[in-house]
Amino acid sequence: MIQTLVARAADRTGLSAEQANTALSAALFLLEKHADPTQVKDLFASVPGAEDLARQGAVLGQNKTGGLVAGMMQKVGGASGAAMSDAMSVGQRLTRQGITTADMQAILPVAMQFVRETTGRDLLKDVLNTIPGLGPLLTAED
């Protein structure tokens, strides 16, 4: 089931299936780390393969090298600073694999639609909104 999302993300962005898989695994890892654990558990239970994909993304979060700004954000920004710092660090690693911020932005609505189709709920949006300071920015309506 999760491979359907990977294929849709690749189609939307022009990334290879491997790159789309990496991008989604990174995003799910960050969700697992920073969103409300109860809601993440519900998401993983509702979308077969999501938890395994998140585990793959954990590699991108190891040995953070987010640079000076990310380090400062983590120290002074509280929970939202930690989430932003981790996102910046993972983003740098994704960029080195040819996955840009624009790609990640293009994948988000695809993932939200996929989860809505799969679960019948805006479950991904609900989970994102639990990330302190960052969730509402990701789910803001245009």
Whether residue 33 lies inside any domain: the answer is yes
Task: With respect to residue 89, please indicate whether it lies within any of the assigned structural domains.
Answer: no
Are the C-beta atoms of residues 26 and 88 closer than 8 Å to each other?
no
pLDDT of residue 131: 85
Residue 4 has pLDDT above 50, yes or no: yes
> What is the average pLDDT across 62-80?
46
Give, as one character, the DSSP assignment of residue 58: G
12-16, 111-115, 129-133: least confident range: 129-133
What does the pLDDT read at residue 139?
58
Residue 90 lies in a domain: no
Report if residue 54 sits inside a domain: yes
Q: Both tokens of residue 101? A: 């911020």
Count of structural domains, the chain: 1
Residue 44 lies in a domain: yes
Residue ranges making up the domain that contains 57? 2-63+99-139
Report, as an integer, the average pLDDT of 40-61: 92
Q: Quote the mean pLDDT of the chain.
A: 83
What does the alpha-carbon distance between residue 112 and residue 70 come to, in Å, rounded to a whole number?
27
> Residue 52: CA atoms inside 13 Å, Cβ hemisphere, count?
7
- Residue 20 forms part of a structural domain: yes
Q: Rounded to whole angstroms, what are the CA distances from 79 to 74, 84, 133, 135?
A: 8, 9, 8, 12
The tens digit of pLDDT for each residue in 81-90 reads 566 777 777 8
Q: Is residue 79 part of a domain?
A: no
Identify whether 107 is part of a domain.
yes
- pLDDT tops 90 at residue 122: yes
